[in-house]
Structure 1
């Protein structure tokens, strides 16, 4: 998700770095390391659910709202 696979264009790297910084602003309890190891939406939802002590539904809704319009490919 936020990690880099290698061989990505500079535009993709810049976009993902921007998303990572944006996610850190939204969920300030997530570290740079936390975010750089997240590979899927499910992992992000689970981390938010655990760290904020919210329901899975609330975590998923929060992540889906934040992800709207973003391209993680």
Structure 2
């Protein structure tokens, strides 16, 4: 999701770095390391669920709201 696999275009790198910074601002309890290791939406939801001690449904809704308009490909 936020990780870099190599061979990405400069535009993709810039977009992912921006998303990582935006996620850090949105969920300030997540570290840069946390975010750089997240590869899927499910992993992000789970980390938010655990760290905020909220239900899975709340975490998924929060992440889905944040993901609107973002391209992670």
Q: Give the TM-score, by structure 1 length.
A: 0.99
Number of aligned positions between the proteins:
73
1:40 lines up with 2:49 in the alignment: no
Runs of 4+ in structure 1 displaced over 3 angstroms?
none
Listed one character per residue, the Cα deviations across residues 37-66 of structure 1 (whole Å, up to 9, x for unaligned) are 000000000000000000000000000000
Q: Give the TM-score, by structure 2 length.
A: 0.99
CA distance in 2, matches of 1:8, 1:23: 20
Which runs of 5 or more structure 1 residues have no equivalent in the other structure? Answer: none
State the Cα distance separating 1:69 from its structure 2 match: 0.6
5 Å-filtered alignment, 1:15-54, equals 15-54=15-54
CA distance in 2, matches of 1:24, 1:70: 15
What is the match of residue 7 of structure 1?
A: 7
* Cα RMSD, aligned residues only: 0.2
1:23 is paired with a residue of what secondary structure?
helix
